[in-house]
Amino acid sequence: MSAKEGCVSRRAGATTAPQRQMAMRIDGRDYRINVLILCMPDEARVTAGLLKSLQRTLEPGVTISVLVNGGDSAELCRLSGATQDVKYYCSAQNLGVAGGRNMLLNAPECRESDIVMVLDNDVVVPGDYIRRLATFLVRRRDAGVVGGIAADLAAYNRLAADALDADSTTDVRSLDIKRTLLPDLRAESLFHAGVSRNYRYAYFSALPSCLHVLRRLPAFSLFRPLIPDAGEPPLLRGSSGFLKAVADGVESYEVSNVAGCSQAFRRDLVDRIGCLDERFNPYGFEDSEFCIRASKAGYRNYIDVNTWLLHGTDSRQGKRDRNRSLVNSFRGRTVLAALTLDDRGQAKRILLKLICLHFLLDLVQGPRTAMRNTMYRMRGYQDGLAILGDNRRRSSRQFDLSKAADR
């Protein structure tokens, strides 16, 4: 593994303390904020767009840490070298999402920070996003992980006067996005708005899958009043109750999981509950487990309805192989169940029941489709068990960045 900072390699064994920046003043107190951005080498262009936009509106007290996971990028290295507020790292090895973010969580500038923010690389961030979300976090003493509402970029561009893309450097503000989408707010307008605060229902209940199929039936509307509120979709962007609450002016709401595309938490939360669990690598559910761990430690996770950003400057996520996605989903879900439920025997029983239920529901599309999907879900389940059998939790790994910088 190799890492660089500002395009300058440090000698092995050398230590470099992060330069202390002026702090961001919030409610009479000073805070240092570190923003973490992770990308693959072929995602450098969209990441560069985000970096330029952030640099344009960067306030004192904010540093940005960028990691190219599994390669290098001359463009990002050059952009990072233009200011001391941006630290650039690269890893020849693909560390996965959890591993890559853990590397940045252990970087000097992050250890020196008071607040950590995590962003996906394919987002458009309003100029007031960092201050708004940091202020929201500071004012909630019981908060573990908080986030904003991630709207769909394409949906916003269909309604906005000025379309945005990865290269946009814009003066748009969070409330501009909210006002644009609010008059006709629907699930398709949002990328992510958090997960039901009952994580057992959200990830391990059979009810959401059943309702997903039933909602396609014309007669479903006749029976909807008989279904309790727990029958709402676990992804809140698909919940009619959530959409109505936002339209009616709710300021915030509690969730079990804040999506990794928009997260903020106090740096000492990591000291108390640990880093991300790398058994979720390459990606999937690492943010869910981290948020659930915070909840179990006595914190509450929130979404701020007045902090918005736009997701989707890179369309490749929608082009992932469906079969591979099924494997990844049930591998991650298997690890998540083992780490969050009462015992592994219970976790196995619940997951096998879910796989059987999905098989029955998939029969609507035909027996061949049902068999194929079940095969991939079982493969993911078995992969998850194999990962758990290795009993490797590398989330507490301490990255020696000075040694890693040796080329």
Look at phi and psi of residue 5 and say left if phi exceeds 0, alpha if psi is from -120 to 50, else beta: beta
pLDDT value at residue 316: 64
pLDDT at position 405 over 60: no
Strand partners, 311: 123, 152
DSSP for 170-234?
----HHHHHHHHGGG--GGGEEE--B-S-HHHHHH-SHHHHHHHHTTSTTHHHHGGGS-GGGS-S
Count other C-beta atoms under 10 Å from residue 213's C-beta. 15
Arithmetic mean of pLDDT, 127-146: 97
Q: What is the mean pLDDT of the chain?
A: 86
Arithmetic mean of pLDDT, 5-32: 59
220 pLDDT band, cuts 50/70/90, is low
pLDDT at position 37 over 50: yes
Distance between CA atoms of residues 210 and 6, nearest Å: 51
The CA-atom distances, in angstroms, between 380 and each of 324, 376, 384 are 9, 6, 6
DSSP for 343-379?
-HHHHHHHHHHHHHHHHHHHGGG-HHHHHHHHHHHHH
Token output for 5: 């900072």
**323 vs 275 pLDDT, higher one:** 275
Q: Which of 106-110, 137-141, 240-244 has the lowest mean pLDDT?
A: 240-244
- Unique residue bearing structure tokens 């996906």: 120
Distance between CA atoms of residues 60 and 63, nearest Å: 8
pLDDT at position 57 over 90: no
Task: Give 286-319 pLDDT, tens digit per residue.
Answer: 999 999 999 999 999 999 999 999 999 887 666 6
407 pLDDT band, cuts 50/70/90, is very low
Task: Give 149-206 pLDDT, tens digit per residue.
Answer: 999 999 999 998 788 877 665 688 999 999 999 999 999 999 999 999 999 999 998 7
Smallest CA-to-CA distance from 332 within 218, 208, 204, 229 is with 204
* Angle ∠(155,254,173) on CA atoms, nearest 5: 40
pLDDT at position 13 over 80: no
Q: What is the largest CA-CA distance in the chain?
A: 70
125 contacts: CB under 8 Å, gap ≥ 6: 50, 53, 54, 119, 309
234: preceding bond cis by omega (within 30 degrees): no
* DSSP character at residue 167: T
SS3 69: strand
pLDDT at position 225 over 80: no
Look at phi and psi of residue 256 and say left if phi exceeds 0, alpha if psi is from -120 to 50, else beta: alpha
CB 90 within 8 A of CB 3: yes
Distance between CA atoms of residues 95 and 68, nearest Å: 10
pLDDT at position 23 over 60: yes
SS3 13: coil
Which residues in 280-364 belong to E strands, given as ranges? 300-311
22 pLDDT band, cuts 50/70/90, is confident
Task: Give 87-100 pLDDT, tens digit per residue.
Answer: 999 999 999 999 99
- Tell me what percent of the residues of the chain surpass a pLDDT of 70: 82
Token output for 365: 């599309």
pLDDT value at residue 233: 78
379 pLDDT band, cuts 50/70/90, is very high
**211 vs 125 pLDDT, higher one:** 125
Q: What is the pTM of this model?
A: 0.87
In total, the chain counts a number of residues equal to 407
Token output for 240: 């009619």
Distance between CA atoms of residues 112 and 266, nearest Å: 11
pLDDT value at residue 180: 95
Count other C-beta atoms under 10 Å from residue 138's C-beta. 19
Distance between CA atoms of residues 193 and 352, nearest Å: 28
Arithmetic mean of pLDDT, 43-54: 91
Arithmetic mean of pLDDT, 213-217: 60
